[in-house]
Structure formats: C-alpha cells, structure tokens
Amino acid sequence: MNKNYTGYTAEQLLNDDFFIHSELHPTEETRFFWLDLERTDLSLAKEIRMARMLMNRFRQDVSRPLLPASEVSDLWNKIQRENQQKKRFQLFWYGVAAAVAAILVLALTIPYLLPEKEIDYQTIIADLPAEKEQDEVQLVFSNEEKVLISEAESQISYDEKGEVRVNSESIRKQSVQHKNEDEVQLNKLIVPAGKRSFLTLSDGTKLWVNSSTKVVYPHLFKGDKREIYVDGEVYLEVTRNPDKPFYVKTGQMSVRVLGTSFNVCAYPEDNQQQVVLVNGKVEVQSQAHTAEVLAPNELYEYDKQTEETSIKEVDATDYISWKNGYYQFAGQQLSVLFKRLSRYYAVSIVCDEKVGALNCSGKLDLTEQVDDVLENLSKAAPIKVEHDHEQIIIKYEPLN
C-alpha cells in the first residue's frame, strides 16, 4: 500500500475504502501496515483510534433495528441541505455525513461485524481439578469425559476431523449432542508437575506443553480465527493460515500470529508473563497496553505487579531448551531456576534470599534425576543441597 495517510482525519478514514476494508477484513499485512503508521505518526494514530471508536460504536448498535431506507435517504438529504446553509459547520456536517456513509457500509456487512461470543476461559480453568489433586496427565473432552495418561512424556494428536489419538492409540469417546452445530467444543489438557506432553491440534499446530500447565482448545477450529488458552508454559509451532489467524490467550496477554514458532510462559503464580519469538512474527498485547510486534530473539515481558511491559533481545534457545530435555540459562537468578526445577520434577525446592539472589549460567540435563542435577549445579554455584523429608533445602556454602 503506497498511499500517504499523513494528515488524514477520522472522517477521511471513514470514507477511505482501504481503511474500512482493513477493519472489516483484517489480514496480517494490513494489521502491521496500520500498526506501523500508528507508531511513526502520533497525530494520525489519534485519528485512527477515533475512527475505530466510531466503527466499534456502530458494531455495538448493529443489533438494534436500522433506519428504513427512506429515513436514511431523508437524513442524508437533510445533512446536505444543512451543510449548504450553514457553512461555518461544514467540518461538523462532513463528519456526520461520513459517519452515515459508514453506517450504510456497515449495514451491508453486519454478519462480519457481529462480535463472536467471548469464551470465559478463567471460569473454565477455575473449574478444573487443582494441580495437587492429580499426578497424571488428564485429557478432558467437551462432554467431560476424561482420559488419564500415566506416562511422564505423552503424545496427543488430533486429525483434521477432530479425531484424537493418545500415544498412537485411537481414543473412542461418546458423542455429545449440541443444540448448535457451530458451537465450539472445547477440550482441556492438564499436565501436572513432573510431566510433559506433546499436543498436535486439528490444524497441524504443534504444542510442547511443560509441567504444571493447562491448555484449553477446540477439537476443531471454526469461524474466522483459531484460539487457545494457556495457563502455564508452552512452545508452539503454528501452522500458517493467512485466512484464519492464530491467537494464544493467557490471564494477562493475547498473542496473535499467522505462522511462526514462539514460547509462552504464563504461570498464574508468577509475577512475570513472557513471550519469546524464535522465528516469524507475532503481535503481543497485554492489559491496558498497545500491541507490540516482536522480531526473532526478542522477549516480551509483562509484570503483573507493576503492570509494566518491556522488550529486550535474548537468545531464544535459553527459553525453549526445556522442550528438548535440557535447561540452558545465562545470568539467571537461582530463585527462578529452582522454581522451574520444582515444576519440572514435581518436588519442593526451597532456598533463602541470599541463595535465591545469586546469578548463574550453565546447562542442565533434565533427563537426569533431580538429585544429580542439583549435585552438578552445586559444583558451579556456592550452594549446599540438603534433604528434609519430602523437601529439598538449598543453603549457601562458599566454593572451595
């Protein structure tokens, strides 16, 4: 798009075919086009937000009866007459006329504007069994049937028809009647501490699901978007589909992508929620913040306490190494490291503030037993490992 929108007003945008089409039928290219304009031209950004606000107002009102065609025509003629008679109000009436024009456009596209019913993921997650009440992976279907998986590393895959296999075995589940055939049938995957799972969705998207993680997803993707919810940590390789963008929702963030690889870490008990891009391009938006576009090897972090966001360059390998059975880290506080190991091995590891504040770099083999991992760590950091019943206590001890 080579058109120059410098100096455009909200009224002009509402009369611009490309802007209206971009809002009604957004694509990856148009979304990034307008996002770049908003970043580089703050004055234009205000007008774009005003135009979107007007369009959203019309969206909210589409369920109300529209004016009959004759009344719309009369209103339009009245505006033109008033505009000719009162030149000093020319800009005002121009704006109203543009708004009426937008109404006529929107009236022809009501099916595209009616907002999809938002899914209450928070309630769904809250109704799932508490993590401490289980030690097996649970696959919960939309009719509440469950499949329990005892293996530490499980594989779950859906085909294009929504049929599911667990560890290469086909799963038969009772059919459930839905009053609305278009209703989304949500499945839930619950991975407790000490377990991992590999999930292939019906569109071919692959998820590596880490310990202590819950994922809510449809058995088949319907409508004009693909959307899942993550409570914990996953690494994704999203199947590209420009006509059906993919969204990952968390408690505080929304990640939009058409086809790429990235890691999402959003444990509810952690203060920070993170997105790390491996390749491709994603757009991340957190509560009360504008959307940000990430480049490969960039980390987006949202702090729930301060409600602040930040973006910095990182080595993405450090953040996705867990999916390959090892843990690579650079300059990481031991408090964070021990928390991750606690989840991965389903053990309680505690340390005092002095130990937790220490920084360490290295690589740990997660295929080893937790005692061996901690023993290797103690050779590189000034710590001593002790056992107290079912708890592992880490104390400070200077290296010889």
Indicate the average pLDDT of the chain: 83
Q: What is the pLDDT of residue 25?
A: 78
* Average pLDDT of the segment spanning 296-312: 94
In the three-class reduction of DSSP (H, G, I as helix; E, B as strand; rest coil), residue 91 is classed as helix
200 or 129, higher pLDDT:
200
Question: Residue 363, Cβ neighbours under 10 Å: how many?
Answer: 12
Whole-prediction pTM: 0.71
Reply yes or no on whether the pLDDT at 224 is more than 80.
yes
Band (65; pLDDT cuts 50, 70, 90): very low
Domain 121-170+184-317 has CATH 3.40.640.10: no
pLDDT category, 398, cuts 50, 70, 90?
confident
Average pLDDT for residues 153-176, to the nearest whole number? 84
* Higher per-residue confidence, 141 vs 68: 141
pLDDT at position 177: 45
Asked if residue 93 has pLDDT above 60, the reply is no
> In the structure, what pLDDT confidence band is assigned to residue 30 with cuts at 50, 70 and 90?
confident
Specify the pLDDT at position 178.
47
The amino acid that residue 303 corresponds to is D
What was the pLDDT predicted at 296? 95
**pLDDT surpassing 50 at residue 64:** no
Bridge partners of 351? 394
Among 178, 173, 228, 172, smallest CA distance to 203 is for: 228
The yes-or-no verdict on residue 387 having pLDDT over 80 is: yes
In whole angstroms, how far apart are CA 200 and each of 156, 182, 205?
6, 22, 6
pLDDT digits (tens, 9 = 90+) for 236-276: 999 999 889 999 999 999 999 978 999 999 999 999 999 99
Residue 193: Cβ within 10 Å count: 19
The answer to whether the 121-170+184-317 and 325-396 domains have the same CATH topology is: no
Fold entry, domain 325-396: Phage tail protein beta-alpha-beta fold (3.55.50)
d(CA 186, CA 282): 24
pLDDT score, position 50: 84
Assign 105 a pLDDT band (cuts: 50, 70, 90).
low
Q: What's the count of helices (H) and strands (E) in the chain, helices before strands?
A: 12, 23
- Give the rounded distance of the alpha carbon of 293 from its chain centre: 13
> Going by DSSP bridges, is the β-strand pair 213-218/206-209 parallel, antiparallel, or unpaired?
unpaired
Q: Where are the domains of the chain?
A: 10-113, 121-170+184-317, 325-396
Q: Do you know the residue count of the chain?
A: 400
CA 383 → CA 154, 331, 355, 368, 393, distances in Å? 34, 16, 7, 19, 10
Rounded distance between C-alpha atoms, residue 297 and residue 329, angstroms: 14
Q: By C-alpha distance, which of 253, 301, 292 is closest to 31? A: 292
State yes or no: pLDDT of 2 exceeds 80.
Answer: no
Tell me, what amino acid is at 108? L
pLDDT-derived band at 324 (thresholds 50, 70, 90) equals very high
